[in-house]
Amino acid sequence: MVCGDQPDQRATERGRTVTTGERTDPYLGFRFHVELDGLIVAGFSEVSGLSVELETETYEEGGVNSFTHVLPTRLSYPNITLERGLTDSTELFMWMNEAKRGAPTRKNGRVLLRDSTGKEVRGWHFRDGYPVSWEGPELGADGGTVAVERIEIAHNGLDDYPI
C-alpha cells in the first residue's frame, strides 16, 4: 500500500508514527483559460512568463570577510507570452496596433487553471498589461501544423488570484 492512499493512514517515519492525509494529485497544465479585462478572449494553447523574481544587491561590509550581504531590492516580472491558433478574431493584433501608434491600452488579465472537472482551482492576475510584441504564424506549404499567433505582454505585477 502506498503512503497516502487512504485518509488518516498511520506510517512510521524515522522511528516516529505520523498521520498522513489524503493524496492530492497535481493539476494538469493543459486546462486553463485567459481573460483580458474580464472577457475570455480565446482558447490559448500556451501561456509562459508567469513568474516573479526578487532582485538582490550585494554589499561588502568592511571588516567582515566571512560573507557578503545579499539584500533584496525590488521585484521584477518577465513579460507574459500567450499563444493561440490563428482565427478570424483580430483583437490581439488590433491591441498591438494601438501600442504601435504610441497609445497602448492597458488591460488587466487573469490566467485561470481548472481541475479535471472544469472547476477553477488556481489563478494569476496581472495588472496594467500592454502588448510589446505580436508574432504571426510561420507558414509552410509542406506542413500540416496549426497557424499560431503569439503576443507578448509587459505588465506591472503578478498576483495569486483567489478562487
Span 121-142, pLDDT tens digits: 899 999 999 999 999 888 888 8
- Assign residue 33 the CATH number of its domain: 2.30.110.20
Task: Count other C-beta atoms under 10 Å from residue 2's C-beta.
Answer: 7
Q: What pLDDT band is residue 9 in, cutting at 50, 70 and 90?
A: low
Question: Looking at the domain assignment, is residue 20 inside a domain?
Answer: no
Question: Looking at the domain assignment, is residue 56 inside a domain?
Answer: yes
Antiparallel, parallel or unpaired: β 80-85 and 44-48: antiparallel
Whether the pLDDT of residue 4 is over 50: the answer is no
Question: Looking at the domain assignment, is residue 140 inside a domain?
Answer: yes
| Mean pLDDT value across residues 148-162 | 92
Task: Tell me the residue range of the domain where 106 lies.
Answer: 26-160
Whether the pLDDT of residue 14 is over 70: the answer is no
Contacts of 136 (CB under 8 A, 6+ apart): 86, 149
Q: 71-114, pLDDT tens digit by residue?
A: 999 999 999 999 988 888 888 888 999 988 888 899 999 999 88
Per-residue confidence (pLDDT) for residue 18, from 0 to 100: 60
Overall domain count for the chain? 1
